[in-house]
Structure 1
């Protein structure tokens, strides 16, 4: 391996997290597989190594700043090319991860990644978010659901909160100004059984890239009416 991971290593040290040589090698293998597969399949617009290290790896692993200590099972909903789920599974081998995506081609790619990297703590599911939220195998099953998907927080909450068990958490990765989005989503989160915490704001170190986490506690069961049928949560966000 001849790529320089010092930015990622130093960034995580700043966040009080230490990467092992094995984990760095696994991330590097993932990077190689991502770039190679991206030549024949649209997985990500970001392929330059420094950009991937910053905007995919460091961004995904920034969750170490807010990860609750009482979590054992994690679901990454809408995982796409495997972010944040694969980097998280690499650095948290003691946790069990379920990565869900609606596109089977992406799941097939991630199966290759999991096999090549020897990740024993990852399960991959091909499913739409709405279907997963109604599936008794996954509904209110996870300690933590995370998502880097691009959607407003009311829509994401309708997708994610049905999967979170009582006393669990939904954490949404966000960027930019989210104050208005938070204000508009409060009623929807309450309807879905959630309670909003204060957001966590930060910049990726040595950059002006602003990031934030919206952290929602699951305090009540999600009503059976949610999630609504496929497409509705994004077209008609709850108010």
Structure 2
């Protein structure tokens, strides 16, 4: 599926992406397909649907980012979904991509150099990255919610929000997370999978 096939879904999100953003996304996808031959960036079963399964899935975060946001940290960036896609689409944001795998970090740096040159690649484990606060924290297909919140809390201040892609296990993960964390939370249905949602978390603080 090519970019033209997701244009309608992007418009339904209320987004109007300029041509340079589309070009940046095409650079990202082209690099992914090339690098995938030598390193495992995404599941091979999703390569034929990369524009929907990965690009559109990442773009759906854009309407959820607060208007006043200036900084974003993406945890466990991997192939750049969602963090690098957001960086390409929102060049006004200061974006840090945290990725511990050296080869994936090199991939992210190469794509960022061409398509999102102000993006910072942090080639460290999340717990070793400098805990500089961010307005928005994102993560996709990284870890269960309790572990995500442990990591994310290092980067949060009020009013930081977290935007996490979650699947059918979301209820069980929330039950586990709420034993240790207090938060305000809502779910936004995913536009790419009927059993998935974007979990929006704010006012994250540990239980005493």
Check whether TM > 0.5: yes
Residues in 2 aligned to 1:76 and 1:198: alpha-carbon distance in whole angstroms: 20
Aligned counterpart, 2:187 = 199
Aligned counterpart, 1:122 = 119
SS of aligned partner of 1:197:
strand
> Do the aligned partners of 2:76 and 2:100 also contact (CA within 8 Å) in 1?
yes
Residues in 2 aligned to 1:210 and 1:21: alpha-carbon distance in whole angstroms: 32
1:214 matched to 2:206? The reply is no
1:99 matched to 2:101? The reply is no
Aligned counterpart, 1:184 = 176
Aligned counterpart, 2:111 = 113
CA deviation string 1:165-204 (max 9, x = no partner): 22111121112241222122113222xxxx1312222342
CA apart distance, 1:90: 1.0
- Structure 2 counterparts to residues 84-163 of structure 1, below 5 A: 84-117=82-115, 119-132=116-129, 135=130, 138-139=131-132, 141-163=133-155
Q: 1:174 aligns with which of 147, 160, 166?
A: 166
Aligned counterpart, 2:31 = 33
SS of aligned partner of 2:95:
strand
May I ask how many residue pairs the two structures share in their alignment?
A: 207
Residues in 2 aligned to 1:29 and 1:47: alpha-carbon distance in whole angstroms: 21
Aligned counterpart, 2:156 = 164
Unaligned runs of 5+ in 1: 224-239
> Do the aligned partners of 2:65 and 2:136 also contact (CA within 8 Å) in 1?
no
Q: TM-score, normalised by structure 2?
A: 0.90
> Do the aligned partners of 2:46 and 2:53 also contact (CA within 8 Å) in 1?
no
Residues in 2 aligned to 1:177 and 1:47: alpha-carbon distance in whole angstroms: 21
CA deviation string 1:116-137 (max 9, x = no partner): 22x23300001111212xx3xx
Please give the root-mean-square deviation of Cα atoms over the aligned residues, in Å. Answer: 2.1
Q: TM-score, normalised by structure 1?
A: 0.79
